[in-house]
Amino acid sequence: MALLTLAEAKAQLDLDTTTNDVELQAYIDSLTAVIEHHTGPVQTRTVTETIEGRSSVMCLSSIPAVALISVVPTLTDDGPADLATLVLDAPTGIVRRRSGTFAGMMWTVTYTAGRAAVPPTINLAARILLAHLWRTQYGAARGGGGSDDYNVGDPIPGFGYAIPNRVLELLEPYKLPPGVA
């Protein structure tokens, strides 16, 4: 599942030939990291991380989380936690233990993070970001529109002029909560 297909990108930029397909694919591939910096994983992937247990709750760092695959104590010979005794709150990435505690142990947690499908708003944000980046490189002559609509004003701290405000506004409903990286 891609944030944006080559066909969608070419339609956004009004490109009809295959002349720029390789370069355009590089642009498409670069969008994922930028978008997911704000939204968390969009494309589904397996994540493995080590978490220090402190109570009957653990917090996963990649959200939204889709499903737990395994929860195994790291420094002991104890077997894996029974997944049937765990409750995953997918949007927040909080794993609760129905009985017992995670405290006092390090846990290796393997889970799936991401979304089942790319929400249309995220797809649109990716299209607008692609058009913006393409235009800043090549101007209106090679696709991306012909107006001055890509003047983004003041840069976003840490991102320069790479992300137009309209993209950030589209991503706002999917924005990660504070403290989630």
58 in any annotated domain: yes
Measure the CA angle with vertex 18, ends 17 and 22; round to 5°: 145
The total number of structural domains that make up the chain: 2
Q: What 3-state class would DSSP assign to 69?
A: strand
- pLDDT category, 141, cuts 50, 70, 90? low
Q: What confidence tens digit (pLDDT) does each residue in 33-75 have?
A: 999 999 999 999 999 999 998 888 999 999 999 999 999 999 8
pLDDT surpasses 80 at 4: yes
Which domain covers residue 70, as residue numbers?
Answer: 45-113
Q: Tell me which of 93, 113, 133 is where a domain ends.
A: 113
What is the pTM (predicted TM-score) of this model? 0.76
Region 72-100: what's the mean pLDDT?
92
Q: Is the pLDDT of residue 147 over 70?
A: no
For residues 61 and 49, give the distance between their C-alpha atoms in angstroms, rounded to a whole number: 8
- What's the pLDDT at 144? 47
Specify whether 33 is located in the same domain as 84.
no
- Give yes or no: residues 167 and 121 share one domain: yes
Task: Check whether residue 109 and residue 123 sit in a common domain.
Answer: no
**Same structural domain, 37 and 49:** no
DSSP string, 73-128: ESSSS-----GGGEEEETTTTEEEESSS--TTSEEEEEEEES-SS--HHHHHHHHH
Query: Would residue 181 count as lying in a domain?
Result: no
* Residue 32 included in any domain: yes
Q: Does the pLDDT at position 152 exceed 50?
A: no
Q: Could you tell me which of 19, 37, 59, 35 has the C-alpha nearest to residue 130?
A: 35
Cβ atoms within 10 Å of 100's Cβ, excluding its own? 10
The answer to whether residue 138 sits within a structural domain is yes
Q: Cα–Cα distance between 32 and 6 in angstroms, integer? A: 14
Residues 16 and 54 in one domain: no
Q: Work out the number of other CB atoms within 10 angstroms of the CB of residue 17.
A: 7
Mean pLDDT value across the chain: 86
